[in-house]
Structure 1
C-alpha cells in the first residue's frame, strides 16, 4: 500500500474510532507508520487528509449499498437485503458517526461527503421503492421519499440504540420492524 493510501486508511479508521477531534496527526502517523514529513508531503494538513478519508468512507458505504440495491430479487427483497446485510453494528456507521462530531458538522468541506452519502442513499432507496410501485409490488400511495428517509433513519438510529445498550439486538429489532412495515405495504 502506498504512503498516501496508508495515511487515508489510517485516518479513516481513526475517524471511525475517535472522531475528528480525537484523531491527531501524531496518531495518524503512528497508525500509518510514516513520519510527519511524509504526511505533509502528500496532504496539506489534517483537514485535507480527513476529507480524503471521509470521502473514502462515504464511497465505500455507497458502494456497499449499491451492491444490495442492484442485487437480484424484488425491490422489497433488495431493500431487506440492504437492511439485513452484515455490519459492525457496535462500532456504528463510519459516516453516520461523523454527524456527531461538531468539527465535521461545522466545516462545510468535511460535512459535504457525509451529507452527499445520505442524499445518495435516500435517492437510491426512493428509486428502488418507485420500482416496486411500478412493478405492482408496493402500494402506489406509499410516499417513496418519506419511506426512504425512514429507512435511512432506522439504520442510523439502530446503530445509536445498539451502541447505547452495548448489544446488537436493538439494531436488529429496528431493522426487522422496518422490514415488516415495508412488507405490510406490499401488494403481493
Structure 2
C-alpha cells in the first residue's frame, strides 16, 4: 500500500500554460502545503513566465482552488470506480482500503487541512468538506447495502462505521509520516479489515490484507 491513484498517472506534460500551472500547483501543494507554496515556486516548477499566472488566474488562491478541486475530482473518481465495482460490500470496502497509496506523502486533500490559511478560507476549504463528506456518504452507502443484503450484521451503523474508516485512513497517513514508515498505516488497515470481518454474517468477508511494498 505504498502508492495511490490520488493524482493522474504519469504522462506527457500538460499542453497549455494554464494546465501546466494547475499541474505544478497540485504537485507543490501536496509537497509543501498552501503556505509553503509561493507563486514564484509554481511559475518555476511550471517553467512559465512571470505574468502567466495572472493571465489565467486572479492570483495564488484562485490557482490553488482550481488545483485542489482537480485533485479532489480525481480522487473521487478513483474511489467511485471501486465503490461501484463488482463484489460484495466487504470486497469493495477492502479494495478501497487496500488500493495502492503514496502513504509517506500523505493524502493530498488531507494535507490541505493542515494549512490554517486554507481552513480559515471558506472558499478554499469547500472542496475539502465536499470530498470528505462525499467519501463518508459513499462508504456508508456501500455498508448499508451490505447490511440490507444480510452480508453485514443488522446492528452495524453504516454512517458511524464510514466515519471511522475515513478517520482511521487519514490518521494512518499522519502516523506513517511521523514514523517515516508505512507500517502504522498498514497496521491500521489490517485492524479495520478485522473489525469489518467481525461484522460479516456470511462467509464473504474481506480477504486478509497483503500490502504491496
State the Cα distance separating 1:63 from its structure 2 match: 1.1
Alignment of 1:1-188 (within 5 A): 1-188=15-202
Structure 2 unaligned runs (5+)? 1-14, 203-213
Residue 142 of structure 1 aligns to a residue in which SS?
coil
Cα RMSD between the aligned structures? 0.6
State the Cα distance separating 1:36 from its structure 2 match: 1.8
Residue 34 of structure 2 aligns to a residue in which SS?
coil
Residue 95 of structure 1 aligns to a residue in which SS?
helix
TM-score (norm 1): 0.98
Partners of 2:42 and 2:129 lie apart in 1 by: 24
Please list the CA deviations of residues 48-107 of structure 1 after superposition, one character each: whole Å capped at 9, or x if unmatched.
000000101111111111111112110111000000000000000000011111110010
Partners of 1:158 and 1:57 lie apart in 2 by: 20
Residue 81 of structure 2 aligns to a residue in which SS?
helix
Match of 2:12 in 1: none
State the Cα distance separating 1:182 from its structure 2 match: 0.6
TM-score (norm 2): 0.87
Partners of 1:111 and 1:36 lie apart in 2 by: 27
State the Cα distance separating 1:136 from its structure 2 match: 0.8
Structure 1 unaligned runs (5+)? none
Partners of 2:123 and 2:39 lie apart in 1 by: 19
Partners of 1:35 and 1:60 lie apart in 2 by: 28
- Structure 1: 4+ residue segments shifted above 4 A: none
Partners of 1:19 and 1:112 lie apart in 2 by: 16
Partners of 1:4 and 1:22 lie apart in 2 by: 21
Residue 51 of structure 2 aligns to a residue in which SS?
helix
More RCO (CA 8 Å, sep 6+)? 2
